[in-house]
Structure 1
């Protein structure tokens, strides 16, 4: 028996080592390895394999940080270079993975001059269109996450601009593309909810301090935040303790889109039993000052939790007691208001939710 247990531990360790090989930047994921001079026509890339590590199709530009487009200064979030996808242009890369596993892609994207820019992300057979016209930070760059399940041990990631503009140089900028294996969490006897502390989630770049946007579930069949889905029109922001104030552990979620930014999980419950949903509400120490309110929903129970934020970090606990009326109960959180940072009126922010717990209790 001891030998079986040891073998299981060793296999698990080997499994995680194998997965760790596919966590982090993709090959030339930050585009710092430049095309050769002979593969460039001004800023336009010439040749399908001109960008090391990538295959490109269509009108692709190689952009240097500080480059200007008319009166607009083009800023690169990571390193010195990025790429721009023109009309119907795409970049793709083959990636070794483990068949049957879940992964998430994190990448940086920015609008340029088109008004309704979007990106089509594909890992066959999964595909999703991410709208990027809402800019959440004043830098113009946002990090996005998108998840998929593998059907082979080599997948092809395609990032495609489906837009058609009069000027092909109005397409979105792409930089810093990374991958991370996801481990689907399980409920425990200490918490019915899965991934209740948000510790399992997409890759967060260590040098881009603006978190990662988790898109609505209509854009992504597999959530990059295991156990949770975004049931709204706007994204929620996944943040880390290296750049923000987090109530518990290393990760949390910031509700940045008001009532259009709802985070939910459906969990098993027993009809007639009484449950207690507890959670932390705070601010991310990102100058999100003012009156913040989180609305919590559990079955037919609701609770509004006000939080007077000074924008400098901090949190408080709140709890909602409810009786289950179904064998499956939706737990949901949203922010009552849209909020802007007090030091930057062009950056959306909102209350932080973390350390969520759901347990059955004896009837009061």
Structure 2
């Protein structure tokens, strides 16, 4: 059990892979498209049209975005109407890695009573996304998800399709997709200075150059399947980068945006009857989100609330506390928002969590039992064997 605990901790490295998908921004036009076409939406016919890199079914339009189409995107995109579907196949290369997808979602329609959702699927996975309009000032949103894990030679079919919410398709607003980016995540050894894999939230879905709104990550209860590597997601969180937001440490962090109960959680195997120090930073994203932020932090059976006062201009404070592991099962560590906040423009926002560091308290090694000491010696011997 102890030996398993030592090998359990690992961290994942994001490796951007811009060439996995063909025509991911749809700037290569369909074969039947006419540049002098005046309407912002160009209907595609499966019998006479092809989209470079993609196949399609159902009602699909090639969208020219800009002034004529009320979306602040650039260039071109794809609108998926009733039963609309596009898909692209690619071959996994190298060792078994995880694939993360980032994409832009918008909604187009007039006098519509409901918004169709977008379903993104791949072998053994399927996620549904609905445009909310609550978490940014733009008429589009960027989402991130993990679509699966595959090894060398596996054939993957990525599918995006519309799904109407009700039967009245004439009053439905349909999804527009653009700027897809697929990246891979490989496995590396854990940082010795931090027992928590990805405690700084540096490894997650890629940020798009075309957006400064961050990446929304919807609820995902699985550590293995989450886009935020080694963290499950409760509610909706915004993955933010230091180019567009205030990030307390490093290049990225997590903003808890969907109000009360939004949060992130991880689990790690720790030594029973041992004490650990948990450190983290709590702040605001410099996005005009003001007021008191309260976050509940749970580490095993120890819970504590922390509050900061934000003026919305970008600041953070470091907190820490000590907890003791009383059970041998994996220890849960979670951060949950107890606050719902909206900016003056109605956008939902919240506290930023970053730089989560876990390490054992002094004297931890002396309290290990004989089996644990043997396990540590085995790890040391294995490392010596790896030396040249």
TM-score range, shorter chain: 0.7 to 0.9
Residue 271 of structure 2 is matched in structure 1 by: 270
- The equivalent residue for 1:178 is 181
> Of residues 191, 194, 202 in structure 2, which corresponds to 1:199?
202
Residue 57 (structure 1) aligns with = 57
Structure 1 stretch displaced more, 56-65 or 108-117: 108-117
Question: 1:34: which partner in 2?
Answer: 29
Q: Any idea what SS the aligned residue of 2:260 has?
A: helix
Tell me the alpha carbon deviations over residues 277-333 of structure 1, each in whole angstroms, 9 at most, x when there is no partner.
Answer: 110011111111221122211112112221111111110101122111222111101
**Residue in 2 that maps onto 1:109:** 105
Partner of 2:319: 318
Deviations 1:12-62 (A, max 9, x none): xxxx99x65x33683221122222445889631122652222111110122
1:223-238 mapped onto 2 (5 Å cutoff): 223-230=226-233, 232=234, 234-238=235-239
Q: 1:169 to 1:115 in 2, by over 3 A?
A: closer
Matches of 1:361 and 1:220, distance apart in 2: 26
Correspondence for 2:43: 44
Structure 1 residue 169: deviation in Å? 6.2
Task: List alignment gaps of at least 5 residues for structure 1.
Answer: 1-15
- Name the SS of the counterpart of 1:194 in structure 2: coil
CA-based RMSD: 2.7
Partner of 1:146: 145
User: Residues 310 and 132 of structure 1: is their aligned pair in 2 closer, same or farther, counting only changes over 3 Å?
Assistant: same
| Aligned residues of 2:72 and 2:139 also touching (Cα < 8 A) | no
Q: Is the 8 A contact 2:325 2:331 kept in 1?
A: yes
Tell me, in whole angstroms, the C-alpha distance in 1 between the residues paired with 2:129 and 2:286.
28
Given that 1:24 and 1:178 are in contact with CA atoms closer than 8 Å, whether structure 2 keeps it comes out as no
Larger radius of gyration: 2
- 3-state SS, counterpart of residue 43 of structure 1: strand
Q: Which residue does the alignment assign to 1:94?
A: 89
Count of matched residue positions in the alignment of Structure 1 and Structure 2: 338
Residues 257, 351 of structure 2: 8 Å contact kept: yes
Structure 2: unaligned runs, 5 residues or longer: 1-12, 365-388
Deviates more, 1:184-193 or 1:172-181: 184-193
Q: Matched residues in 1 for 2:230 and 2:269: separation?
A: 12
1:301 corresponds to: 302
The 2-side partners of 1:355 and 1:24 are apart by 31
TM-score by length of 1: 0.84
Deviations, residues 206-234 of structure 1 (Å, cap 9, x unaligned): 2200111112115996111111111x2x2
Q: What is the CA distance between 1:107 and its match in structure 2? A: 0.4
| The one of 333, 336, 346 aligned to 2:335 | 333
Residue aligned with 2:317, SS = strand
- 2:72–2:138 Cα contact (<8 Å) kept: no
Are residues 90 and 107 of structure 1, via their aligned partners in 2, closer, same or farther at CA, if it must alter by over 3 Å? same
Q: CA deviation at 1:134?
A: 5.9
CA distance in 1, matches of 2:265, 2:295: 13
